Amino acid sequence: MSENDTRSKVDDAISKVNEMGSRAEDAFRDFKESEAAEKLSEGIKRGARTAAEGVAKGAKIAAGGIAAGTKIASDTIRSNAEANAKKRASRKAAPFDQQSAFRTEGDDNKPIFRLRNGVVIPPIGYGTYLATEKGGKDVIRDALNQGYRYLDTARFYENEADIGEAVRESGIRREELFICSKVWPTMLGAEKLKESFEASCESLGTDYLNMYLIHWPKAGQSDEEWIPKLRESWTVMEDLYKEGRIRAIGLSNFLPHHIRPLLETARIRPMLDQLELHVGYMQEFTLRYLKHEKIMAQSWSPLGRAKMLEDDRIRSLAEKYGKSGAQILLRYLIQRGIPAIPKASTPERMRANMDIFDFSLTADEISYLSCIPEAGWSGEHPDLVEWG
């Protein structure tokens, strides 16, 4: 094929393409002017309008839902806030409460301490150690006359018979009293503990004790069998508890490393640990441990063997509140969430030790007293004592 023939065919092809394009333009122009095009346009417009209305309606519904949800959330938040405010208003725990898990009743000034099993511990009990050496049962009678209903004793004190006689002569019903005794560490072991418990009940003139404690974890530091003896004794106490002969079981002078071996085998956990606790000797590590294990701490020697009564820091607060040093020291413990068993030999001091519920120390004063360096310690430590 010659070059001229090729060019001629290309020109014809271009001409046909141009003609087809022209026809397409005419057809499109005719369609735009036709009824079908008008209907298509209207359909598109109507579809767009319907879609727009649907979007608007959906947005309105969504906005209403959001508004309703926001109102419900707001009402719920307000309701919860009001409920929490009421809860806070009804709580009766004092600042720096170390045993808040046990404080369930009473007002801020006079709380009631309740053990894990529901047994109530009066905030102030009467400590009878050495109390009857001179006055015998008359001292116990004085304490009862001053309003004490919690009497703390031990087999080692050798005054259970005096207490029992004073209680019988008082005419006070047994169920009105809270009597606690303790087994001496030389009497640990199943048979010895049973013997000691029954002897305490007989001397006190009662068939049950409100609380029974193991006085010290061991009799001496060379006793390598103290853990088996402890566990064996605790098993007997658990049985007496289940029989109703003891209403609460616990410990005295036990530190965390003495309690842990017991918890490994105990069926019933100790409910209380009676410790030397007072301003100047608060054993904070042990208190934290007891709180974690939900074991109530109780204070013996709350006045630091009377050594803290003459402390200038205590005297200053006593003057501020018009109270005695003993009342300041006891009030401090109560606000720390720790019941106490002070000793007193005269009716006046007995009464004063109970009169601590008409004032409160400030949070800063609690902090100040909690940070006093060691003072007033008795010198008795469970890892140092030798009881034979």
- 108-163: per-residue pLDDT in tens? 678 889 999 999 999 999 999 998 988 899 999 999 999 999 999 999 999 999 99
DSSP 93: P
Tokens of 29: 């122009």
Alpha helices in the chain (DSSP H): 3-32, 35-90, 132-135, 137-145, 160-170, 190-204, 226-243, 256-263, 284-292, 312-321, 325-335, 347-354, 363-370
Question: Would you say residue 63 has pLDDT above 80?
Answer: no
What six digits make up the tokens of 154? 């031990």
- Indicate the pLDDT class of residue 96, thresholds 50, 70 and 90: very low
SS3 for 149? coil
The structural domains of the chain, with segments of one domain joined by +, span: 3-73, 100-370
> Residues 235-246: pLDDT tens digits?
999 999 999 999
pLDDT in tens, 105-114: 555 678 889 9
- The residues with which 250 forms a beta bridge, in sequence order, are 213
Phi, psi of 79 (to 5 degrees): -65, -45
pLDDT tens string 275-310? 999 999 999 999 999 999 999 999 999 999 889 998
365-380 pLDDT, tens per residue? 999 999 999 999 999 9
94, 363 contact by CB (below 8 A): no
State the pLDDT at residue 100. 42
Among residues 205, 207, 209, which one has the least CA distance to residue 182? 209
Q: Residues 227, 232, 237, 242: is their CA dihedral positive or negative? A: positive
Kindly state the tokens that stand for 243.
């029989």
Q: For residue 309, count CB atoms less than 10 angstroms from its CB and return exposed for 0-12, middle for 13-18, buried for 19 or more.
A: middle
- Cβ(181)–Cβ(212) under 8 Å? yes
* Residue at 211: amino acid letter: M
Instruction: Give residue-wise pLDDT tens across range 37-56.
Output: 455 456 555 654 654 465 45
Q: What pLDDT was estimated at residue 74?
A: 54
Count of C-beta atoms within a 10 Å radius of residue 106? 15
Task: Give me the CATH code for the 100-370 domain, please.
Answer: 3.20.20.100
Q: Which residues are catalytic?
A: 157
Residue pair 169/137 in contact (Cβ under 8 Å)? The answer is: yes
